[in-house]
Chain A
Amino acid sequence: MGTPVLLIIVLAGIAALLATGLAGAIRGRAPDGRVLVYGACLALCALLALAGIAGLAAPPSGLGLPLFLPWIGARFRFDPLAGFFLLVINLGGAAASLYALGYGRHTAEPERVLPFYPVFLAAMNMVLIAADAFGFLFAWELMSVASWALVLAHHHEERTRRAGVLYLLMATLSGLALLLGFGLLAGPAGDYSFAAMRAAHPSGWLAALALLLVLFGAGAKAGLVPLHVWLPEAHPAAPSHVSALMSGVMTKVAVYAFVRVAFGLLGAPPWWSAVVVLALGGATAVLGVLYALMESDLKRLLAYSTVENIGIVFLGLGLAMAFRADGDATGAALALTAALLHVFNHALFKSLLFMGAGAVQTATGTRDLNRLGGLIHRMRVTSFVFLVGCAAISGLPPLNGFVSEWLTFQAILLHPDLPQWGFKVMLPADGALLALAAALAAACFVKAFGIAFLGRPRSEAAAAAHEVDGFSRAAMAGLAALCVLGGIFPGVVIDALAPVAHLLLGTRVPAQLAVPWVSIIPVTAARSSYNGLLIFLFVAAASGIAVAAIHRFASHAIRRAPAWDCGFPNANPITQYTADSFAQPIRRVFAASLFGAHETVILPPPGDIAPARIDKTMRDPIWDWGYAKPAGWVERTSISLNRLQFLTIRRYLGFVFAALVVLLLALALWQ
């Protein structure tokens, strides 16, 4: 154990964030309150991110403080896993705070946002360094409550209130599941510290049940299908910088919780638990992106896309669990590295995309894709960085999304000779699901960027849009630059991740920075390698040659003219494709059976001047079967039990008497 210097710095940072929250409560309504709060958050997040980077290289350290309950105290621990997630979370937090310095000008009621935002950041950081279940759950619930308060910032809208209720319900479920899981891990001795849980080595059904409970709890927060239903309601309802944090960062805290339990605390869960994670991960990836394709609200689309990426992360984690169950530590290290790299990349580009959506909403007042269009002419910087974000999330080389996808495929290719049948079927199935999710994600983001930014404006608001302020642009540009750099020099991030794999699994991926030409070689050079820098240079060189040749040999003339449109140009922007029409072929192929996607066309008879109508209907099967039905049962049961309220005194006395008799009987029989 090393000295807890870094840990003390982190704790001080968290305390400072909490103090900033207090300051936000006091000076929320003042005009400089925004600058104070977000500026302080920016500085503190930057500090904590640096501490995270330092923590990746340093040995683990621990500390006990006499906080919370007097006879338990609070234990904290700072190891490379916590360091990595600190980096991810605070990088996102810093970018969101920088963005909010500009965006926050437009908040109607800043006193509803400013106190809770730093508390949210502080709680997320606290989850990462907690080393006992009590502190962990306290920080987890604080994170949920703070984000719930932020979701309700625009509480005047009915939809937001509904989203708040749903979010609170799911957050409570997740906390309860985690509590039960930790309870099982603590065992009859009741020692809730992580060190004790690690030493306990539970096995068999106990470990499996604890893992499933933690999977449920973490999955509800991260957005695994079928626990994802709150994400597309709550994430869009919050202000944009909070949405960026919730989607890009809070879901990663949930991933941290699962990784900590599955790899850190549980020594060897049974092999079939990996099959469960693999199945859930694959299903989440494909369903998430299918939902996203059906959406025409930009922020809901991004929220569903978060669900898809969390599915990809859990797919990687499932692979790591599968390889570990069969004793292959290097394979598990590769899969874990792929999953964590995707965590890092997704935090970057999802925050970028949500910030872009916030910029669009600020500029035009709407998030409905069917009302946008032509923004590339009016919002040049925003459109460019949004394009980088879309390309990154679609997994296009040479950006960072492709690297994590490539590594995940390499992990799938690694071991075709696993003995268990569950793995033999799940691994190729997951390969197909991952490939399908990647292709559908590209289609989804072509739709998002194409309809929102390209084409002609579909409404007055879109035609009158203007570029957003400098802080927002700076935050987005910074994230976009990191996406590009992460794609060209992936070896840096992979090597930084290596101590995490070493901590959890005992081995690591081969060192990448020593490889010539800055390639990445996950296993051996003979197997496969990828060089982002060379691909980038080749493409740049090829385009340079093309431009030079064209400049030399081709005509330079350009003439602007009305669009060709096959000789039938129509000036009305309504004749363009909308988001729904773009997704129609995919909807017809994929969603017709699963979601019951159906289009009814009502054409008035000839001569009638009424307009034609096209109605798109869809059902969400997970909501109908998983939530609406049980909610119906609960309601019916509670109505029927309500009759207990109106009984006579004699009946109540009869109940008390019967309960007493039953208990005495039980006592007698048990003797």
Chain B
Amino acid sequence: MGGSAFDVAHTLAGLLVLGSLTMLYQDRLVALINVLAAQSVILAASVAWQAHLQDAPDLFITAAIALGFKAIFIPAALKRIVVRLGLHREIETVAGIGVTMLAGMGLIALAMEVMLPVTSRVDPVARQDIALALSVVLIGLLIMVTRRNAVSQVVGFLSIDNGISLAATGARGMPLVVEISVAFSVLVAFIVIGIFLFRIRERFDTVDLGALDAFRGERR
């Protein structure tokens, strides 16, 4: 196991984290979806590299699924939804870049602090990859929590899925069947969400969660 092989894996994982951090402060939906697409491409590359390292050909299929679905199909579909909902010209209110980046880095430090002592018997670079994968998940959750627009929350959810895929492939344990079923469930969930978004938009003329809360009568 050459050092440089793991260095490449490590760099790709780091770029995934960078993608998540970039998503935190994007305030235009189209740019957000583009970053998600880029992140999925890097995920596909990372999975393909792991397939090459671990000599597991079924991971190549996983990489192809990641590329096809998450990098091409889903972002294209999301963009179509955004254009049809007319949201591509809106700017979301997001906290400033300084605060969000600091929060993201705090989450990265937290993920490392939790994962590194737990996985003490594993090879150091793999440990760091798992910690980085957990950071992607945490930052994805932060994205979902801090956004008001339903579409950006979907993007956050998809980036969480990217993080889980990274962790799973690094652990060299996820069989192809599980991967395919996870991908299909994501797809189904996505279709359902898309349908609901259109229905909500038809009913209430908005997908802004704050406004929807007011309709529910729960605004205090």
Residues of chain A at the chain B interface (Cβ within 8 Å): 421, 425, 593
Contact = CB atoms under 8 A, between A and B. Distances in A.
Interface in B72-98: 96
Nearest to A590: B98
A593 B113 CA distance: 29
A215 to B, nearest CB: 25
Interface string B189-214: 00000000000000000000000000
B217 to A, nearest CB: 33
B99 A593 contact: yes
A284 B99 CA distance: 19
Interface residues of B, number: 4
Nearest to B109: A425
A388 B15 CA distance: 45
A642 to B, nearest CB: 38
Nearest to B96: A593
Interface string B90-115: 00000010010000000001000100
Interface string B154-173: 00000000000000000000
Contacts of A425: 109
4 contacts: A421-B113, A425-B109, A593-B96, A593-B99
A23 to B, nearest CB: 57
A421 B96 CA distance: 28
Contacts of A593: 96, 99
Contacts of B109: 425
Contacts of B96: 593
A433 B96 CA distance: 19
Question: DSSP class of B's interface residues: helix, strand, loop or mixed?
Answer: helix
A421 B113 CA distance: 8
Contacts of B99: 593
A592 to B, nearest CB: 8
Interface string B10-33: 000000000000000000000000
Contacts of B113: 421
A654 to B, nearest CB: 47
A199 to B, nearest CB: 38
Nearest to B99: A593
Contacts of A421: 113
B110 to A, nearest CB: 10
Nearest to A425: B109
A656 B109 CA distance: 59
A425 B113 CA distance: 10
B127 to A, nearest CB: 15
A596 to B, nearest CB: 14
Nearest to A589: B98
A357 to B, nearest CB: 33
A328 to B, nearest CB: 22
Give the 4 A-B residue pairs with the shortest CB-CB distance, closest first. A425-B109, A421-B113, A593-B96, A593-B99
B199 to A, nearest CB: 38
A425 B109 CA distance: 8
A521 B109 CA distance: 33
A425 B99 CA distance: 17
Nearest to A592: B96
A421 B117 CA distance: 11
A422 to B, nearest CB: 10
A515 B132 CA distance: 45
A436 to B, nearest CB: 11
A474 to B, nearest CB: 46
Nearest to B113: A421
A274 to B, nearest CB: 18
A593 B95 CA distance: 10
A425 B96 CA distance: 23
A421 B110 CA distance: 10
B159 to A, nearest CB: 25
A156 B109 CA distance: 54
A425 B106 CA distance: 9
B207 to A, nearest CB: 28
A652 B99 CA distance: 57
A427 to B, nearest CB: 12
A421 B109 CA distance: 10
A421 B99 CA distance: 22
A593 B99 CA distance: 10
A339 B96 CA distance: 34
A425 B105 CA distance: 11
A421 B112 CA distance: 10
